[in-house]
A and B are shown apart, each in its own frame.
Chain A
């Protein structure tokens, strides 16, 4: 399968705990994006990488959030000291740098529930 893969699919954690999600993009894609989707809403942009460089971060990404893409392949999104408001679906997408109209391919997401 050459699609975008996210792990885990579901995560339940207690408030105050740290969680880490992983995203494996389509292998030849050099851009990787993280979005957050709360119930009943559209996805909101969090951050994106070109290769290993994090080029933009949304104001939604508080100090408790950190994303990495150490070798320009897979990426991790860590949330420290989770809060109930962090409960959401976290989506990863990838695309190819180059043509402006390149398509973003999305993974199935990681659903986080903070209890």
Chain B
């Protein structure tokens, strides 16, 4: 079974700073997907960024980028120029593609606070 571990329960940075959230996972699969989801307070979870394991290039979405180290089974999220609206719980998630089903295995989450 796959497991996802986020070792930082909470993080706090000042607005405009760069912050990196850590995630490690364990799997014997070679083909899989990794995700970072954001869950703002009292709002629904939304996808931040996605990485396919077969792609060597790290995914980037505007201020969000990942550092994907397949051999180390590490998948960190970097948020540049952090904004107050980035305050949320962040979840790392693993998916083994089975006919496209989004059966996700989530980590415990990191609570990120951006301070003004």
Q: Which of A31, A35, A42 has the most CB of B within 10 A?
A: A42
- In contact, A95 and B104 (Cβ under 8 angstroms): no
**Given A42-B4, A42-B91, A106-B46, also A55-B101 (CB < 8 A):** yes
When chains A and B are docked, how far (Å) is the Cα of A50 from the Cα of B52? Answer: 23
Residue of B whose beta carbon sits closest to that of A6: B44
Q: A69-98: contact bitstring with B at CB < 8 Å (1 yes, 0 no)?
A: 000000000000000000000010101011
A31 neighbours in B (Cβ, 8 Å):
100-102
Interface size class of B (residues with CB under 8 A): 20 to 34
Residue of A whose beta carbon sits closest to that of B45: A106
Q: B29-57: contact bitstring with A at CB < 8 Å (1 yes, 0 no)?
A: 00001000100001111110010100000
When chains A and B are docked, how far (Å) is the Cα of A95 from the Cα of B6? Answer: 25
When chains A and B are docked, how far (Å) is the Cα of A45 from the Cα of B4? Answer: 13
- In contact, A42 and B103 (Cβ under 8 angstroms): no
**Given A42-B108, A56-B103, also A101-B91 (CB < 8 A):** no
When chains A and B are docked, how far (Å) is the Cα of A98 from the Cα of B99? Answer: 8
- In contact, B103 and A33 (Cβ under 8 angstroms): yes
- In contact, A100 and B104 (Cβ under 8 angstroms): no
Interface size class of A (residues with CB under 8 A): 20 to 34
Residues on B lying within 8 angstroms of A by beta carbon are 4, 6, 33, 37, 42-47, 50, 52, 91, 93, 97, 99-109
* Cβ contacts A to B, 26 pairs, < 8 Å: A3-B44, A31-B101, A33-B102, A33-B103, A40-B108, A41-B108, A41-B109, A42-B106, A43-B45, A43-B91, A45-B103, A48-B103, A50-B101, A93-B102, A95-B102, A97-B99, A98-B100, A100-B100, A101-B52, A102-B102, A103-B102, A104-B102, A106-B37, A106-B45, A107-B44, A109-B44
Closest CB pairs A-B (n = 10): A42-B106, A104-B102, A106-B45, A108-B44, A100-B97, A95-B102, A100-B100, A106-B44, A42-B91, A43-B106
